[in-house]
Structure 1
């Protein structure tokens, strides 16, 4: 049987309102352009850092292994393109740069609309 005490119902309604308010605030925070841009920038920074670390590591390995270089120090003696050094994929970097450009353009457009 349903509880029909007005005080109990009022308490449930207030709890439900509070939960709904927290949910709406969380959704608004999640989709706010500033937060979305911040998350995108953070993700881009981590991807760039990972790619940079990979390149630095690869270059460090090449420089630190003189037996694998020619006498002039430019490239390996036996196989110029050894499989020990896989090609760095450029697509994620280009996608990231494109995302940053799009987000920047959106920010500029939004600011201009606010001024008008």
Structure 2
């Protein structure tokens, strides 16, 4: 049964408040599902994972000691090649995972 004691203006305010809340929710969902924003989030996640892989690679690659007992210098080309390979592998895995989900 309807609440007959409610003020029609109060009911109207409730309806407007509910409408505004619904509009905000729809806008938020549209923003989350926007392909551009989805791609940006994927790119950010890929960058984060690449950074983690780069740190892991850096901790694995230790420079050899020189004749004086001091640590030697890393060959940056080798490190960059390893990081590039890790990033490429991560990108491939994420790309394949995305393709499977779309099917």
Give TM-score scaled by structure 2 length: 0.61
Contact 1:41 1:100 in 2 (8 A): no
Counterparts of 1:12-31 in structure 2, within 5 Å, are 12-31=14-33
Within 2, Cα distance between the matches of 1:7 and 1:47? 54
Tell me the residue number matched to 1:51: 53
Structure 2 unaligned residues grouped into runs of 5+: 66-84, 99-103
Within 1, Cα distance between the matches of 2:96 and 2:43? 11
SS in 2 for 1:63: coil
Count residues in correspondence: 79
Within 1, Cα distance between the matches of 2:40 and 2:57? 26
Structure 1 residue 57: Cα displacement: 1.4
Tell me the C-alpha RMSD between the 2 structures: 3.3
SS in 1 for 2:6: coil
SS in 2 for 1:4: coil
